Chains A and B, each alone.
Chain A
């Protein structure tokens, strides 16, 4: 008999309009890394939420170490040693990193927090597993990558031994992903058992021991990674073959659409500039990618470009018009659409329905309103079209509340909305974050067809594979500056990596290594 630390048997969970889990069985061995794979909306997060006590299953049983357990809430789960990093982090924005980690598991002495000890424990954990965090920074000020590390530390701080990672790598850079996989391996070696959700088959092949595949709420099968391949996994998941490379023709480059001149953005935390004197152009019919390791000013630059934040100097021209001082709405009208990095913070009004979110950037257009009255019929028709076209899956279609949709489907809704506006410039930040391979294939095709229809695309992506596949030009950003420009056909992932890490820098077309550069400065 196998040594199962967790067994979920015949779990069924129904939401209005959809069976999210339909008789699913999942067996987790002690000390293994068990991947959970499935399309967007297949029911992975739901299944994990059942294990973590967030949802009660309609039927089915859960066993821990062979004993039947009843997990009514996350506290029960925690008592059983089950911890979870959610797909959308659950952190208190205005609390510090340290406070977030100890929240709910505070050690106190006569009612007073023992913060010193807590800090020591957190720092030693972060040291031991290489999870870099700044304990005193506020969550709202730190990057998503660091937020993720905070979530992991939260589990470790509680001495959990069954760790659920719901799409942890979606927000990480390739280097960080390697680190995380190493960390997970260490956990497994220590006897911790790991449930790992991801859409990236490479990661599953690299990290997992076994993999369970779900499709549309149903259990498809569990395979040993040693006996399987990427292709077989994706076939199990989608039910057809998926191509991992993108076909595209040569770009037909036209006029300059976006002209960025010396944009500088001051930091909110320290005195330095987070974006320093950035200039580049994007022409019609090309996809320009802003690559770089997360936290090198891409987020702030995009905020300045899209008007979410202000910049201290520089100029932005769109189709030759100076839009530097335009409001967000005016930029939208001038022809800018924006797939934001944080879909919950910016991309969606989570309590609005899907259709209301689909017109979030267009409700004011004459097509959707008449003298200030929203044309509900038009909105419904339009939403239904996009839902169909982009295969946005949800329980109740256009009237589903966005909050209840699966992460990937939320993302698809945003992409559909922004691409379909057909503006001259599409700014896409991590557009395929959290999408399954089938969806990524489709979205990549869409982005390329945007380019082919003569629009300009500015892509920000942390994923080098996507960068290499999609872009016509690559700009590497390091510490708020553009340190190099590349043609994806003439460069390698390794070379890009060096620039992204700041080891090299191009100066007016000359390549310098960091050492030489330092010499020059002296």
Chain B
């Protein structure tokens, strides 16, 4: 019994692992394509500068630098085709350089170039040398484009060094590639676990809580209000965040229970209502007690009310591994465990899940499904709200009420977390860690080449794959074992 259960979850974890690998592989392929596009673009841009015989004085100088440094190599000599020799080529470029024939950025015409070449090589009639002009430009072009040429290996190494490595490393290194350990990732994951739990919990009870972002915002507001204005200790601020988030979750719940309005619609609306209401109150026309004009953000927590900061994880000695993270992560993990117990071991969880699976059967069993809808949305809201507190009461983050026109991404990433964990509370811890890992990694990639949203592509692909795995579970099991699992005892 237990053994088969273990084997079942083992195979789920194994298939999730495969999904992650395939997702990463697809991510890498995207990076390779982008790296190629980038390389090719640079090459083409430089190549485009040479329109027929026109090319800039500056480029001739570059070519000269190259020639003086390394001499004319075989490739260039082959371009010259005997019209002019490599020596003569050098003679011309250094002549142009020393005599500063043209102002930088200006281009030669064919006539000018023929004249200059004649002068440089001591030929009297420029027409004698005219046929060598295109050869000369070709040679210069080859020299200039040389550094931009690339092989597939270069593309791969770009994709890896400038992009994929960062994704793999996640938040374990800072922007300057100094090792940090998991601390910033852990700090980042704590709020994400909470929004993930919020969505996952609602899912299990048959509700789609797309409003985690709004509840998270309200939670952040509640926490900051009690911290910056009332200067309460951190645990009081956390409670306030829970209450504010719960309230924001309860409203769509009430609408759903009593007026049968789909919770998706109401919670999307309350996302925006929440965001703008919070921004307006926090800004207060610049006079709000929470708004610090000098930073044009909310006041700094560690300055105004240090007792409201969630305590740091005081590791013994200088444990660099986890040192500056706060104890927030433990709250998140603790709550995940509590949720799991509640859903699987208690009558309350039994009722909630029954409602999620079948409203009519739950009703038949005497379960008050209206009450349960409201309760589970309230709890989902409270979870997301606490997420807001865990983020804004940690470290030195400040809310920017004037700039925050977008809903916090943590709220929506919570959906990915829940999906990836197939709504399992304990699974949400790991999927949040994973998502925060690749999201932080994503923002450490070379932004000029790789947009950081690639992290989202990777997690999206993984989620799709996981869903596919579920659909084709049996067929995949067949693939692995050559036979369908189960069978007679």
For residue A58, CB closer than 8 A to chain B, the reply is: yes
- CB distance A16 to B366 under 8 Å? no
Query: Which A residues lie within 8 Å of B1 (CB)?
Result: 399
- CB distance B354 to A328 under 8 Å? no
**Residues of chain A from 4 to 44 with CB closer than 8 A to chain B in the complex:** 14-19
- Distance in angstroms from A165 CB to nearest chain B CB is 26
- Distance in angstroms from B484 CB to nearest chain A CB is 7
For residue B348, CB closer than 8 A to chain A, the reply is: yes
For residue B362, CB closer than 8 A to chain A, the reply is: yes
- CB distance A327 to B366 under 8 Å? yes
- CB distance B488 to A14 under 8 Å? yes
Query: Which B residues lie within 8 Å of A18 (CB)?
Result: 488
Query: Which B residues lie within 8 Å of A345 (CB)?
Result: 358, 360-361
Query: Which A residues lie within 8 Å of B354 (CB)?
Result: 349, 352, 360
- CB distance A17 to B347 under 8 Å? no
The answer to whether A373 and B346 touch (CB under 8 A), given A328-B364, A351-B357, A352-B357, is yes
**Residues of chain B from 352 to 384 with CB closer than 8 A to chain A in the complex:** 353-354, 357-358, 360-368
Q: Which of B346, B353, B357, B366 makes the CB contact (< 8 A) with A372?
A: B346
Query: Which A residues lie within 8 Å of B350 (CB)?
Result: 356, 363, 374
For residue A347, CB closer than 8 A to chain B, the reply is: yes
The answer to whether A327 and B488 touch (CB under 8 A), given A345-B360, A349-B354, A374-B350, is no
Residue of B nearest to A14 (CB): B487
- CB distance B363 to A372 under 8 Å? no
Query: Which B residues lie within 8 Å of A351 (CB)?
Result: 357-358
The answer to whether A308 and B486 touch (CB under 8 A), given A350-B357, A352-B357, is no
- Distance in angstroms from B350 CB to nearest chain A CB is 6
- CB distance A308 to B364 under 8 Å? yes
- CB distance B363 to A374 under 8 Å? no
Query: Which B residues lie within 8 Å of A89 (CB)?
Result: none
B interface footprint on A43-81 (CB within 8 Å = 1, 0 otherwise): 000000000000000100000000000000000000000
Give 17 CB contacts A-B under 8 Å.
Answer: A15-B486, A17-B489, A58-B484, A308-B363, A329-B366, A332-B366, A346-B361, A348-B358, A349-B358, A349-B362, A360-B354, A360-B361, A363-B350, A364-B347, A373-B347, A374-B345, A374-B347
Residue of A nearest to B342 (CB): A372
Query: Which B residues lie within 8 Å of A350 (CB)?
Result: 357-358, 361
For residue A361, CB closer than 8 A to chain B, the reply is: yes
- CB distance A16 to B357 under 8 Å? no
For residue B485, CB closer than 8 A to chain A, the reply is: yes
The answer to whether A361 and B361 touch (CB under 8 A), given A356-B350, A372-B347, is no
For residue A369, CB closer than 8 A to chain B, the reply is: yes
Interface size on A, residues (CB 8 A): 35
New A-B contacts (4) at CB < 8 Å, excluding given A16-B486, A329-B367, A369-B346: A349-B358, A350-B358, A372-B346, A376-B345
For residue A473, CB closer than 8 A to chain B, the reply is: no
**Bound Cα distance A135, B488 (Å):** 46
Query: Which A residues lie within 8 Å of B361 (CB)?
Result: 345-350, 360
Query: Which B residues lie within 8 Å of A19 (CB)?
Result: 488
**Bound Cα distance A350, B360 (Å):** 11
Query: Which B residues lie within 8 Å of A308 (CB)?
Result: 363-364
Query: Which A residues lie within 8 Å of B365 (CB)?
Result: 328, 349, 360-361
**Bound Cα distance A329, B347 (Å):** 14
Query: Which B residues lie within 8 Å of A363 (CB)?
Result: 347, 350
- CB distance B357 to A328 under 8 Å? no
- Distance in angstroms from A419 CB to nearest chain B CB is 16
Query: Which A residues lie within 8 Å of B362 (CB)?
Result: 349
Question: 7 smallest A-B Cβ distances: which pairs?
Answer: A329-B366, A16-B486, A346-B364, A328-B366, A351-B357, A349-B361, A360-B365
What is the interface of chain A, defined by CB distance below 8 A to chain B?
Answer: 14-19, 58, 308, 327-332, 338, 340, 345-352, 356, 360-361, 363-364, 369, 372-374, 376, 399
Query: Which B residues lie within 8 Å of A364 (CB)?
Result: 347
The answer to whether A338 and B364 touch (CB under 8 A), given A373-B346, A374-B345, is yes
Residue of B nearest to A346 (CB): B364
Q: Which of B360, B368, B487, B489 makes the CB contact (< 8 A) with A346?
A: B360
Query: Which B residues lie within 8 Å of A327 (CB)?
Result: 366, 368
- Distance in angstroms from A509 CB to nearest chain B CB is 37
**Bound Cα distance A340, B353 (Å):** 21
Query: Which B residues lie within 8 Å of A399 (CB)?
Result: 1
**Bound Cα distance A327, B369 (Å):** 12
The answer to whether A373 and B345 touch (CB under 8 A), given A349-B358, A351-B357, is yes
**Bound Cα distance A502, B373 (Å):** 44
**Bound Cα distance A330, B368 (Å):** 11
**Bound Cα distance A65, B468 (Å):** 36
- Distance in angstroms from B388 CB to nearest chain A CB is 29
**Bound Cα distance A255, B353 (Å):** 40
**Bound Cα distance A338, B365 (Å):** 10
**Bound Cα distance A101, B358 (Å):** 25
**Bound Cα distance A361, B367 (Å):** 9
Residue of B nearest to A362 (CB): B365
Looking at A15, A338, A346, A349, which has the most chain B CB atoms within 10 Å of its CB? A349
